[in-house]
Amino acid sequence: MLIPVLLAGGTGTRLWPASRQSRPKQFLPLTGGDKSLLSQTLDRLRALDDMGDALAIGSEAHRFVIAEQMHAAGHKGRIILEPAPRNTAAAVAAAALEARAQYGNDVELLVLPTDHAVADAQAFVDTVACARAATGEGRLALFGVKPDRPETGYGYIRIGARVTDGVHAVDAFVEKPDAETAAEFLTAGGHYWNSGMFLFGANDYLDLLAEHARDIFDGVVAAYERATTDIDFLRLDAPSFEAVRADSIDYAVMEKTDRAVMAELDAAWSDLGSWSAVAKAHGVDPRGNSTIGDVWLEDADDCVVRSEGRLVAALGTRDQIIVETADAVLVADRSREQDIKKLVNNLDAAGRSEATAHRKAYRPWGSYQQIAAGPRFQVKHIRVTPGGRLSLQSHHHRAEHWIVVRGTAKVTCDEREMLLTENQSTYIPLGAVHRLENPGKVELDLIEVQSGSYLGEDDIVRYDDVYGRPELEEHDTGAAPGTSA
């Protein structure tokens, strides 16, 4: 049985302002179309043989968006929640323990980052088959990509003797090289980019982790044995997992074993680690421009331009990155795109919420977005998916007005229940115990006007919640104050 392990953590700050801590690149449709990178990863799994339900690993902050996108793609596997980021060695160990518990000692793991692009899905499936043929004797496979340029941002694998078709022994791992060394690798051949994808038996990985990084193994076992379940989520024990040393699979296991092999992946792979990489994956026009959204270019060359809402027009521009979102616009020279992460860190240090949070926040019941705010008031657009229910709650410092603009709202306010349809409204007094639900089959859109002396996220008392959230849940998005429901 082959179990996909989806690594859904990471922040992707080099793709700011589209990708932010509150909604990183794996949850976004970066390469055109309406499917996120996570959804595209799930789609690639459909053609694999002997496959069980996927296991996803991510953070508490993103648990509901992971669940939503997995369920939309038809995957009903468990989602493992990391109390803190501890890199891939610990994350995959937790997945290996869970897969072994569900499917037995012979289960295999296909470990996949969910923020990469793979254009040739059939080539990916063929490479997985080659890797499985080579790992039956306790080998652990990496997926290597033949370089087409002297790239300094990737680690490299130097291959050794052929094992089977498309699979070689690993002779050495090479750290990210300088430009001259990368050019030598390209000319000499025999060196491949390390894609961060792996295939191995769960038992083989756990045995080698215990041998080469016993502290990580013991810490993850303790966190797993003390884990709790909540709906589709497996919550690793926080004290145990937070004490685990952070390390990657490569350093903790692969570089220390003689059982590593590399399967060559020729599938137009990209880790989408920069806006130039996104442009290459999406495609460019005859003048080298890559555009997504409402974009108008005149006399522009080699530009990456993305609009998420407004018209973006560029005239006479060369080698520029222009990215427009609801609350931030990035304009950068392409030669400086590796410095975008530093820019985001500086914004964060300056206390700018735009560094980490989008104006639009997602919740298990839908989403909300701030429209306007001022002293003692705030206006929001709230969208509730069919069947969605906000928590039963009250506020100490604010009252709310709700106006339905689409769909049907079921409103509870103290002892009263009512149904509201388009153009109808209601008032929620300060202190009233209330709930909003969508009993219909179409999305519910309403405008919420808040007024009061304090509009902070912590002014909520939650009495009942179908999604199992605590009575008071601090917002991890850093979004503007308002409905947390």
pLDDT at 481: 37
Which residues, at least 6 apart from 303, have a Cβ–Cβ distance to it below 8 Å?
Answer: 288, 289, 290, 297, 314, 317, 318, 319, 320, 321, 322
**Are the CB atoms for 356 and 24 separated by under 8 Å?**
no
Does residue 126 contact residue 143 with C-beta atoms inside 8 Å?
A: no
Residue 284 and residue 342 in contact, taking contact as beta carbons nearer than 8 Å: no
* 115 vs 44: CA distance, rounded Å: 13
Contacts of 350 (CB under 8 A, 6+ apart): none
Q: Whose CA is closest to 228, among 220, 242, 238?
A: 238
Residue 485, pLDDT score:
58
Adjacent-strand bridge partners of 411? 418, 436
Q: Dig out the tokens for 406 from the structure.
A: 């689409």
Q: How many helices (H) and strands (E) does the chain have?
A: 11, 30
Higher pLDDT, 44 or 33: 44
Q: pLDDT digits over 349-407, tens only?
A: 999 999 998 888 888 899 899 888 899 999 999 999 999 999 999 999 999 999 999 99
Query: What is the average per-residue pLDDT within 28-57?
Result: 91
For 120-149, give one letter per residue: b (16+ CB within 10 A) or e. Answer: ebebbbbbbebbbebbeeebbbbbbbebee
- Give the whole-number percent of the chain exceeding pLDDT 90: 81
* 409 bridge partner residues: 420
CA dist., res. 277 & res. 279, Å (int): 5
- 3-class secondary structure, 188: helix
Extract the tokens encoding 276: 């130039």
Residue 406's φ and ψ, nearest 5 degrees, are -155, 140
Question: How many angstroms separate the CA atoms of 15 and 25, rounded?
Answer: 7
Pairing of strands 233-235, 228-230: antiparallel
Q: How many residues does the chain have?
A: 485
Give the Cα separation of 186 and 329 in Å (integer). 36
CA torsion 411-413-416-421 (nearest 10°) is -20
Q: What is the pLDDT of residues 234-263, one digit of tens each?
A: 999 999 999 999 999 999 999 999 999 999
Of 37, 46, 102, whose CA–CA distance to 74 is shortest? 46
Backbone angles phi, psi at 255, to 5 degrees: -80, -10
CB 274 within 8 A of CB 14: yes
* CA dist., res. 4 & res. 273, Å (int): 22
Place of tokens 């008031």: 377
Q: What does the pLDDT read at residue 471?
A: 56
Query: Quick one: average pLDDT of 24-35?
Result: 90
Over 70: is that where the pLDDT of 472 sits? no
261 vs 59, 172, 264, CA distance in Å? 30, 10, 10
Listed residue (7, 83, 14, 1) closest to 273, CA to CA: 14
pLDDT tens digits for 136-145? 889 999 999 9
Q: What does the pLDDT look like over 136-194, one tens digit per residue? A: 889 999 999 999 999 888 999 999 999 999 999 999 999 899 999 999 999 999 999 99
- The pLDDT of residue 339 is above 90: yes
327, 263, 275: which is closest to 302 by C-alpha? 275
pLDDT at 231 over 80: no
- At residue 152, the 3 state secondary structure works out as coil
- Specify which residues 6 forms β-bridges with: 56, 112
- Average pLDDT in the chain: 92
Comparing CA positions, the residue from 353, 366, 313 lying closest to residue 68 is 366
Model pLDDT, residue 470: 62
Domains of the chain: 2-270 (3.90.550.10), 284-349 (no CATH), 360-464 (2.60.120.10)
Confidence tier at 457 by pLDDT (50, 70, 90):
confident
